Amino acid sequence: MKRFKRILFWIIVAALVYGVYTANKMLPIATSYVAKDVSSGIFISDRPVDSMLENDVNFNVMKYVSVDVDRDNGLVTAGILGMFKRKALFRGAMGCCLTNGYNIQALRKEAFDKPQFANIPLNTDIDSVRDEIDFAMLKEAVDSVFINEERTRAVVVLYKNRLVAERYADGFSDKTALLGWSMNKSIINTMIGVLSMKQQIDIKERNLFDEWSEDERKNITLNDLLHMSSGLEWNEGYGGVSDVTKMLYTTGDAAAYAINKPMQYKPDTKWYYSSGTTNIISKFIRNRINNDEIYHNFPYSEIFEKIGASSFYYETDASGTFVGSSFGYATARDWAKFGMLYYNDGVANGERILPEGWVDYTTTAVQASDGAYGAQFWLNKNNVKWGSPDDTYCCIGHDGQVVAIIPSKDLVIVRLGLSISRRFDTGKFLSDVVKSVK
């Protein structure tokens, strides 16, 4: 009996130690997630705090996080029982960032207002294509993803650059900027494309960072990074403590975290999804531009203004580098304009933004991905993922966000939502929309 009690005692002690260890690892990530998400939700998306708390962060341990909002100072503080407090700060065009040890007053001084430019309306004249679309079938496809379980917030469908379908959930509209999560990786691709056209970079470049100069990482090319084939060690798990959650929520310099990862495989031999590689590219762009004012304005002046999408916020971390892996907001219509840029082979409003051949490069499958991935875009080569044509390629976010470009059907399809507990069936949605094209 005494032996049993001793064993039970040590089991309880071990459980308590494990619980404390887990709490110290997990809870700062949870409070950081809530602070960042709520901050961007209220200061960028202009959503009520109560709506954010009831809908966006009301799951897992996040539901127990308390939030304090200081609108006058653009600051959101999140904590659990007064502990593990984390702060997120709104910095105008730089979006919202977790402060994570950085001086808040210094961060405020770096803020700047968003550049002002025209939001170019979408073409709504559908008379010339009316006979090419089964609008009843299209409406049914769109309506089907607005059931409660789907948690869809916005859908926009373009056919031949014309707006043919649009719907929003209650509380959302064509003015609501919504988070794209990993769809933002494709914006990093676009920034590289613009710099390539300006002949400021070469995707075959090596020796990308001083930190890599003394080991095998010096052999990683920009092309390897764009293709998620760098060979750097990485864990993309979202369910707990992993490289991606530590990078996004426990550091103030996401790119530095990823740059310092060691080699695991020879470059260009193994494909695996890594948000870290996208942020490495973002830091490479910052270094190459070598002027923070130009860098921070770059996506606005070189992309968003030229496609006429003024709702975009492309967010940086506390260090000032764009978190291209994850953090960027825009309305559904403006996400559709981004898709149009690729549908139109890199041309927007009569101006070539991306070099000729860039879209072909982007949509060429990485050999090791079995047709699933190109350069910061998901592909459907060999119909590997969706019930839509092989030429479908997409920007995809992990809560079911998608911008799908389907050249053979002249479609650009946008779906934005928050499918946390129930995986959104992207394939069925795309397939249903495709069927509406006669």
pLDDT per residue as tens digits for the range 201-231: 999 999 999 999 999 999 999 999 999 999 9
Mean pLDDT of 249-254: 97
Structure tokens that stand for 197 in this block: 């056209």
Sheet containing 178-179, strands listed edge to edge, beginning at the edge strand earlier in sequence: 178-179, 328-330, 313-314
Res. 17: pLDDT tops 70: no
**Residue at 253: amino acid letter:** D
What pLDDT score was predicted for residue 10?
A: 42
How do residues 357-367 score in pLDDT, each as one tens digit?
A: 999 999 999 98
Which residue reads 């997120």 in tokens? 88
Residue 24: both structure tokens together: 């110290």
Residue ranges of domains in the chain, CATH in brackets: 2-90 (no CATH), 131-435 (3.40.710.10)
- What confidence score (pLDDT) does residue 266 get? 96
357 Cβ contact list (under 8 Å, min separation 6):
none
What's the Rg (C-alpha) of the chain? 22
**351-352 and 162-168 as β-strands: parallel, antiparallel, unpaired?**
unpaired
Report H helices in 1-150: 2-43, 49-51, 104-109, 135-143
Of 137, 133, 143, 132, nearest in space to 166 by CA: 143
Yes or no: say if 316 and 297 are a contact pair by the CB < 8 Å rule. no
Encode pLDDT of 35-57 as tens digits: 999 999 999 999 999 999 999 99
Residue with tokens 């009569």: 350
Q: For the chain, give percent helix, strand, coil, nearest 5.
A: 45, 15, 40
User: Do residues 282 and 188 make contact, with C-beta atoms less than 8 angstroms apart?
Assistant: yes
Give yes or no for a contact between 410 and 437, defined as CB atoms under 8 angstroms apart: yes
181: alpha, beta or left? (left if phi > 0; alpha if psi -120 to 50): left
pLDDT at 19: 41
How far is residue 340's CA from residue 347's CA, in Å, rounded to a whole number? 9
**Is the pLDDT score of 382 beyond 80?**
no
Question: What contacts 323, CB < 8 A, 6 or more positions away?
Answer: 184, 248, 254, 279, 282, 315, 316, 317
Residue 189 phi, psi (nearest 5) = -55, -45
Q: Which residue has the higher pLDDT, 148 or 412?
A: 412
Cβ atoms within 10 Å of 423's Cβ, excluding its own: 10
The 3-class SS string of 373-418 reads: ECCCCEECHHHCCCCCCCCCEEEECCCCCEEEEEHHHCEEEEEEEC
The pLDDT tens digits of the residues spanning 291-335 come to 999 999 999 999 999 999 999 999 999 999 999 999 999 999 999
How confident is the model at residue 84, as a pLDDT?
96
